[in-house]
Amino acid sequence: MKFRPRQARLNAFAKINLGLKVLYKRPDGYHELRTIYQTISLSDKIELEYTPARHRIIRVDCSPEIPDNLAGRAAELLMDLLDVRGELTIRIKKRIPLGAGLGGGSTDAAAVLLSLPAITGSYCNMEQLLNLAAQLGSDVPLFLIGGTVLGIGRGSEVYSLPDTDRAHGLLVIPPAIQISTPEAYQQLSISLTRASADNKISIFQSCAWRAEVGVSEPSWPALIGNDFEEAVFRQHPRLRAIRNKLQRLGAAAAMLTGSGAGVYGIFESRPSARRAAEEFPKEQIYPFVFVSRKSYRAHWLRRLWPYAVEEIWPPLSQVFR
């Protein structure tokens, strides 16, 4: 019997960090974090094609090619868990810049985790998906939630926050700057103390509370800041200059995302963001808007039709309706 292939075309959205606090290094070698993630409209294009079979073949076609692609690893883990056989082809057209603190590899992996149960006719609950996501990387779990997300622990323990307003943003990424995340952590560890951790927790809790109760002025992320900035800006002063320029051009908040090298500014309106973009003629510029949790999930359910049940999250195969 010959099966027809099942296909889905998806957008895997990027993220920025609306503030990031590094508290201390844990006994397991990871750092204890507090961060607020926000999904944004910049996205990779992903196409999944699955054909049932008695054997298992996973192919990943990524442009540009990425060694050790997380999407393929996500497919292996999930198909092992669900005991799924078949031929799976994952085609990825990268539009999220690599090594920029935008979660480009992580969102592709999450896209596979969210869509594969629906198109293979398998069942996987959120707890199982979150466990797999945490194995793949600290940023992967947030993309199973979408919108405005609280991240604690090493960033992989995630909780929904009320969505912020549809802010307009501008992402600036200078070419030829590569940030080593392990090196950034190493530089940061030198200055970490228990006293500073206690102070950071107080600041973060205050700002997270503002997010939780829906305080939506676009300047509140600046109250948290990003602890990586001091170490990263010391090594790459050009990034500090970009952040300062965004502030001078009227950004309500401007900071490094993740450990860089992306620097973003949040503006009150699309015209003000567009005017600011004109002041960076030599840089890579990516305008974006915030993607709310409602919009994020609606996109997935719409793109996974007719395989997924409407209005159920995570996407549930029609087999289990």
Residue limits of CATH 3.30.230.10 in the chain: 6-162+293-307
Contact 211, 148 (CB under 8 A): yes
pLDDT the model gives residue 94: 97
Average pLDDT over the chain, rounded to whole? 90
Percent of the chain at pLDDT exceeding 70: 89
If we measure between CA atoms, which residue out of 254, 239, 229, 99 comes closest to residue 167?
254
- pLDDT (mean) for 208-224: 60
- Burial (CB count within 10 angstroms: exposed 0-12, middle 13-18, buried 19+), residue 18: buried
Give start-end residues of each CATH 3.30.70.890 domain in the chain.
168-289
Contact 143, 166 (CB under 8 A): no
pLDDT at position 50, please?
98
Per-residue pLDDT tens over the stretch 15-48: 999 999 998 888 998 899 999 999 999 999 999 9
The highest-level CATH class for domain 168-289 is: alpha beta
Please provide the CATH number assigned to the domain covering 6-162+293-307. 3.30.230.10
Residues known to be catalytic: 15, 139
Q: Does the model's pTM come out above 0.85?
A: yes
pLDDT of 166:
76
